[in-house]
Structures are given as structure tokens and as C-alpha cells.
Amino acid sequence: MLNLERLRTLDALARHGSVSGAAEGLHITTSAVSQQMSKLEREVGQRLLAKNGRGVRLTDAGRLLAEHAARILSQVELAHSDLEAQRGQVAGELRVSAFPTAARGLFPAALGELRERHPALRVRSRELEPEQGIRGVVRGDLDLAVLLDWYNKPMPLPDGLVKAALLDDPTDVALPAGHRLAGRDELDLAELSEEEWITWGEGEFCHEWLMFTLRSQGIEPVVGHRAAETHTQLCLVAAGLGVCVAPLLGRDPLPEGVVTVPLRQRVRRHVFVVWRADADRRPSIRAAVQALRAAGERVGASAA
């Protein structure tokens, strides 16, 4: 009989494309991955891996079994969901992630509500950028991930995920208090064409959105500083080192010396949560989505 954990290891190898990637996704050592695969090869009596330079690749038999493994693991997840739904209790463990400002702005209220209402549910949370959160949900390392996209740049999602909106997050521009435009009621992006921008890391979804948005307005942005977290960006603004976009979610309290001004374009980012479709019937998933929506509504009400 095929061992489920060894099939899980093969599935991780197929999805990540390397022993190190599979080990990271499964939170085990590379040695453990190799041992599991050796045992699985003995079980099936065929080679599943072949050397490929310094790495490995799946053989034809390995690819065939990996396709079956993905379907088997999906059925196992469905069985867990059905059993949890049949029991009707919000219990067990739930692994969730959110990008930093959502972890700051939504998780305290939402996870606090879950602990109070469902003491038998143990939630494990972590901060992850949206792309990392998607990967975690797809490969089963996470049950839920809070993500974002922008009004003019959707976040592409793979098949097999369910999505629920949490809030539309209004976004202003943050300026040093002594800036020539700090007293305005609203600003047009074109008025910031000569400014030095403080943004996210190269290649990050929000950085790419900002570059795309500014260039669509005919602005070639000058990037002076990069920081992953909004509050670090705001502290750099307070020091007079540039300007940044400042979504409402998770930004308060503003550092001293920073003012925010709405943009005439009504820039917003969409905050939402995703989970695997084969886990859709789990009461714990539904309870968590409800708590996150309630937290999002409170943020939205404060912005109105």
C-alpha cells in the first residue's frame, strides 16, 4: 500500500521542482525528502527520480505517480473537510497568513474574536507577502491567506482557490509635514512627478503596481529608498527623504512629521482572503472568513 506521507513528498517535489524546495514547503530536511523518496521507490519498484545536473528530475514513472498523488491528496483534504463539516464544530488547527499591514490591521481583531468564540480552534498566523501566501495555500502549507490587489492591477490567482472580499482600502499619499503640498485637500499624481519615492522591494507586487501606475500617468519615478513595511516607509517620509503611498489599513498611528493627502484618482487596493476549494466546507474556514470580514467592515467604517 502506498504511504500517504511519501506521496505528499513526491507531490511537493513535483510542485517545487527541487529537493530543497520540497523540503522548505514540507518543513523538513532535504535528507528527510531523499529518504522518503528512496522508500517510495522501493514500494513501487521503479525509479521515480533521475539526476539532472546538480539536481533531480522526475522520471516518467515519477510524473505519472505525482499526478495520482495530487488527486489522492486532494481527496484526503476533501475527506477532512467533510468530516469537519459533519461534526459541525469549529475545532482543530488553522494556519493563516497575511501581508504585513493586514496582519497589523486585521489579525488582532479577527483572531481575537476567533479565540473568544471558538476556544477549541487553534490558529497559527504568520506575515507573508501575497505571492508567498498564494504559494502556501496552493501547496497546502496554509489554510487561508489574506492578499491584496489594486484597482488597476489585479492579482493573478491559480485555479482551485476560493476568494472572498474583505474590504476596499483607500490609499493616500504621505508627505513630510513641511512639504509644499502638505496643506492640500487632495492631489493629482501628476503633481508628484518630480518627487523622490519611497517604495517596496524590487519585484514585489506593490512596487510593480506603483511603477505601473506612475508610468501610466507619464511619470518616470525616481526611487530613493525601499522598505517592505509601511511604517518604515512612513518613518523615512518623516525624515524628509521622499514621499510614499499610504493605504489606510494598518497605518495608524502616523509618525510625527507626516501628513497624508487623498489622491484625486481615488486609489484603492482590494483586500481579500483565499483558500483551497477542496477545503470549502470546513467550519473553521467559514468561521475565520466571517471574523476577517467583520474586522474589514470595522476598518471600512472608520474610513467612511
pTM value?
A: 0.76
User: Which SS3 state, helix, strand or coil, does residue 255 take?
Assistant: coil
State whether 15 and 100 are in the same domain: no
C-alpha cell at 245: 503611498
pLDDT band at 289 (very low <50, low <70, confident <90, very high): very high
Q: How many domains does one find in the chain?
A: 3
Buried-exposed string 132-143: b where 16+ CB fall within 10 A, e elsewhere:
bbbbbbbbbbbb
| pLDDT for res 171 | 92
DSSP label at residue 243: B
| pLDDT for res 266 | 84
Last residue of a domain, one of 51, 68, 85: 85
State whether 160 and 206 are in the same domain: no
State whether 282 and 297 are in the same domain: yes
Span 253-266, pLDDT tens digits: 999 999 999 999 88
CATH number at residue 252: 3.40.190.10
State whether 175 and 39 are in the same domain: no
Q: Could you tell me if 169 and 246 are in contact, meaning their C-beta atoms sit under 8 angstroms apart?
A: no
State whether 155 and 186 are in the same domain: no
Which of 134-138, 160-164, 233-237 has the least mean pLDDT?
Answer: 134-138
State whether 192 and 265 are in the same domain: yes
Mean per-residue pLDDT, 23-42? 85
State whether 242 and 161 are in the same domain: no
The overall longest dimension of the chain from CA atoms, in Å, is: 74
Higher pLDDT, 17 or 128: 128
State whether 8 and 157 are in the same domain: no
Last residue of a domain, one of 52, 85, 118: 85
State whether 21 and 51 are in the same domain: yes
Domain of residue 68: give its range: 4-85
Rounded to 10°, the helix 30-44/19-26 angle is 100
**E strands along 151-212, which residues?**
161-176, 196-199
State whether 38 and 123 are in the same domain: no
